[in-house]
A and B are shown apart, each in its own frame.
Chain A
């Protein structure tokens, strides 16, 4: 630092007649900063060369085969895709797009569901008031609740159709047997998620639907108070499997809380794990199943012993 000050001293002595004005001194002091700023402006003209840009986007954007692959492979939201897919599989008519739509609806349900949780208390009496308040007073509250409800219905339809398509194309066959089984679990969990949500508005519709539904649990063989061999094993309305589901012998405050926790925490966590396995296995089992070239009956190989 001292060297720099010394170096500037002779310069001021060279021009003794002109004492630099305050403005010039300020200029002299600011110039290095302006120079730096010009560098920044230069970078702003081509932001793709900045450190910030490069740290976020790991590849260039010009249209090359490498970059098309990297666009998918270096993006966490897209990396479930391979870089390339069977050209015929892209057609709507093979997959019907139902698996992807199911995932999309699951995301929609998660987002709208989190918003709904801000306005909802899983408490008897309060719950119904919350829904009324949400529907009539909260801005876009009605839209939010409607979207959650209809997306849930839609997801059940898309999941059914997804299963139907996978069956019709024989996509459950080797090597995808296990992934079909995981998919069946996801199907069941989807319906359970919808069912547990049914009770939450705490209205007549939900109350009686859940009453009808859980009354069946009473009839579970061995574990239900009215099921075959249940009473013989000491099952009553106060210790059987229905009691465990409802947290009581009737659909009441405890049942509401249990439905809420299953619906908002437990089941979403469980289905997320199964979905992760499901998608992972889609890739690991050789990506999408087809449309594959047909195999003729004369080409069947004898089973491996």
Chain B
């Protein structure tokens, strides 16, 4: 173990936010899910007792007969806001007094930084560059992430869980979002920060960054593994493989969408456009881990090689 190396990465001023993320994200995930599970227990109780369901205030928050439903913003909300602002300022002040913002040497186009990393919040995209060409990882994927996020309210036809934490009533939506946000975004940012070293090579935490390390791994395209040569055939094979992925995983995702009685009810509420949008977004999101697995297990560089683009 090279503790010095690990300490150097973890204490680099610009990496402090990621160190903070390592604690904040698990904490708030736990914090949200704790309330979701408490609500779920209440939902189970109410579903089993229709009398109680009529009289219960239906929240996990404390409740007493005669309490006002609403409170004055002045002072009950404003005092909390002011207090938060003060605490936030305090944290920011202490952070700013103790740690200097990084300033490297003047920009020098002839001296490449190694590793040269994007700002930490874009490291997920940079990590994707390992598995996809820049036009996918740097342009198509970010665009689709934005479009997909914007589309969420319009493709989620589940009317339950509006305005309270719950897991039971929104299993599919919450698992899909958490997979995208926690695994494919936050974990990739953490990998990009702590694991990727010189030459964007994989260094386990505590491994010394060796600037002269060479890795002899030859990645092959799918058609090379299968021994197919000559262009129209290579392109057709890739197209068929990608098509097969969409059909197969589309079928699997469909099975998931209609897995339970409740999910089928929600599925019935979807229009065709909503369903197809949901499917496309999910399949493209899942393509990333699929490509990662293909690369790690079979050393596949491209699935689909054409004269114009490679996937």
Contacts A184-B149, A204-B108 given; indicate if A72 touches B74 (C-beta within 8 A).
Answer: yes
Query: How far does the Cβ of B300 sit from chain A's closest Cβ, in whole Å?
Result: 20
Tell whether B113 is near chain A: CB-to-CB under 8 Å.
yes
Q: Are A156 and B308 interface neighbours, CB within 8 A?
A: no
Q: Which residue from A87, A92, A173, A177 sits with its C-beta under 8 Å from B68? A: A87
Q: Which of A31-39, A47-55, A271-279, A297-305 contacts B (4 or more CB under 8 A)?
A: A297-305
Tell whether B264 is near chain A: CB-to-CB under 8 Å.
no
Tell whether B104 is near chain A: CB-to-CB under 8 Å.
yes
Interface residues in A231-269 by Cβ distance below 8 A to B read: 232, 250-251
Tell whether B97 is near chain A: CB-to-CB under 8 Å.
yes
Tell whether B47 is near chain A: CB-to-CB under 8 Å.
yes
CA A289 to CA B53, docked complex, whole Å = 21
CA A267 to CA B279, docked complex, whole Å = 33
Query: How far does the Cβ of B181 sit from chain A's closest Cβ, in whole Å?
Result: 6
CA A164 to CA B181, docked complex, whole Å = 8
Contacts A104-B85, A105-B88, A219-B133 given; indicate if A296 touches B46 (C-beta within 8 A).
Answer: yes
Query: How far does the Cβ of A61 sit from chain B's closest Cβ, in whole Å?
Result: 11
Closest to B40 in A: A294
Q: Are A220 and B71 interface neighbours, CB within 8 A?
A: no
Tell whether A224 is near chain B: CB-to-CB under 8 Å.
yes
List the B side residues contacting A218 at CB < 8 Å: 134
List the B side residues contacting A108 at CB < 8 Å: 89, 92
Interface residues in B126-156 by Cβ distance below 8 A to A read: 126, 129, 133-135, 137-140, 146, 149-150, 152-154, 156
Tell whether B77 is near chain A: CB-to-CB under 8 Å.
yes
Tell whether A41 is near chain B: CB-to-CB under 8 Å.
no
Q: Are A294 and B166 interface neighbours, CB within 8 A?
A: yes
Tell whether A209 is near chain B: CB-to-CB under 8 Å.
yes
Q: Are B73 and A300 interface neighbours, CB within 8 A?
A: no
CA A163 to CA B158, docked complex, whole Å = 19
Tell whether B36 is near chain A: CB-to-CB under 8 Å.
yes
Q: Are B109 and A251 interface neighbours, CB within 8 A?
A: yes
CA A69 to CA B70, docked complex, whole Å = 12
Interface residues in A177-195 by Cβ distance below 8 A to B read: 177, 180-181, 184-185, 187-188, 191, 194-195
Q: Are A212 and B74 interface neighbours, CB within 8 A?
A: no
Contacts A91-B61, A204-B107, A221-B140 given; indicate if A209 touches B71 (C-beta within 8 A).
Answer: no
Q: Are B106 and A173 interface neighbours, CB within 8 A?
A: no
Q: Which residue from B46, B75, B104 sits with its C-beta under 8 Å from A205? A: B104
Most B CB contacts (10 A, CB to CB) among A82, A91, A146, A218 go to A146
Q: Which of B24-32, B218-226, B227-235, B242-250 contacts A (4 or more CB under 8 A)?
A: B24-32
Q: Are B121 and A156 interface neighbours, CB within 8 A?
A: yes
Interface residues in B153-204 by Cβ distance below 8 A to A read: 153-154, 156-166, 169-170, 173-174, 177, 181
List the B side residues contacting A211 at CB < 8 Å: 116
Interface of A, helix, strand, loop or mixed by DSSP: helix
Q: Which residue from A68, A101, A164, A205 sits with its C-beta under 8 Å from B113? A: A205
Tell whether A113 is near chain B: CB-to-CB under 8 Å.
no
Q: Are A86 and B70 interface neighbours, CB within 8 A?
A: yes
Q: Are B61 and A291 interface neighbours, CB within 8 A?
A: yes
Q: Which of A1-9, A14-22, A147-155 contacts B (4 or more CB under 8 A)?
A: A147-155
Q: Are A145 and B101 interface neighbours, CB within 8 A?
A: yes
Contacts A212-B118, A292-B162 given; indicate if A90 touches B104 (C-beta within 8 A).
Answer: no
Interface residues in A185-227 by Cβ distance below 8 A to B read: 185, 187-188, 191, 194-195, 198, 201-209, 211-213, 215-221, 224, 226-227
Tell whether A176 is near chain B: CB-to-CB under 8 Å.
yes
Tell whether A43 is near chain B: CB-to-CB under 8 Å.
no
Q: Which of B2-10, B15-23, B207-215, B290-298 contacts A (4 or more CB under 8 A)?
A: B15-23
Closest to A241 in B: B139
CA A187 to CA B39, docked complex, whole Å = 29
Tell whether B254 is near chain A: CB-to-CB under 8 Å.
no
Q: Are A104 and B163 interface neighbours, CB within 8 A?
A: no
List the A side residues contacting B67 at CB < 8 Å: 87
Interface residues in B13-70 by Cβ distance below 8 A to A read: 14, 16-17, 20-21, 24-25, 28-29, 31-32, 35-36, 39, 42-43, 46-47, 53, 57-61, 67-70
Q: Are B166 and A170 interface neighbours, CB within 8 A?
A: yes
Q: Are B73 and A84 interface neighbours, CB within 8 A?
A: yes
List the B side residues contacting A215 at CB < 8 Å: 134, 138
Query: How far does the Cβ of B137 sit from chain A's closest Cβ, in whole Å?
Result: 7
Query: How far does the Cβ of B170 sit from chain A's closest Cβ, in whole Å?
Result: 6
Tell whether A40 is near chain B: CB-to-CB under 8 Å.
no
Q: Are A128 and B77 interface neighbours, CB within 8 A?
A: no
Closest to A105 in B: B88
Tell whether A65 is near chain B: CB-to-CB under 8 Å.
yes
Query: How far does the Cβ of A192 sit from chain B's closest Cβ, in whole Å?
Result: 10
Shortest 4 CB-CB contacts between residues of A and residues of B = A216-B138, A290-B163, A292-B163, A177-B153
11 contacts between A and B (CB under 8 A): A72-B74, A97-B84, A143-B97, A145-B101, A153-B14, A153-B120, A173-B159, A204-B107, A251-B107, A291-B60, A294-B166
Query: What is A's interface to B at a CB cutoff of 8 Å?
Result: 65, 68-69, 71-72, 78, 81-88, 90-94, 96-97, 100-101, 104-105, 108, 128, 131-132, 135, 142-143, 145-151, 153-154, 156-157, 161, 163-165, 167-174, 176-177, 180-181, 184-185, 187-188, 191, 194-195, 198, 201-209, 211-213, 215-221, 224, 226-229, 232, 250-251, 289-298, 300-301, 303
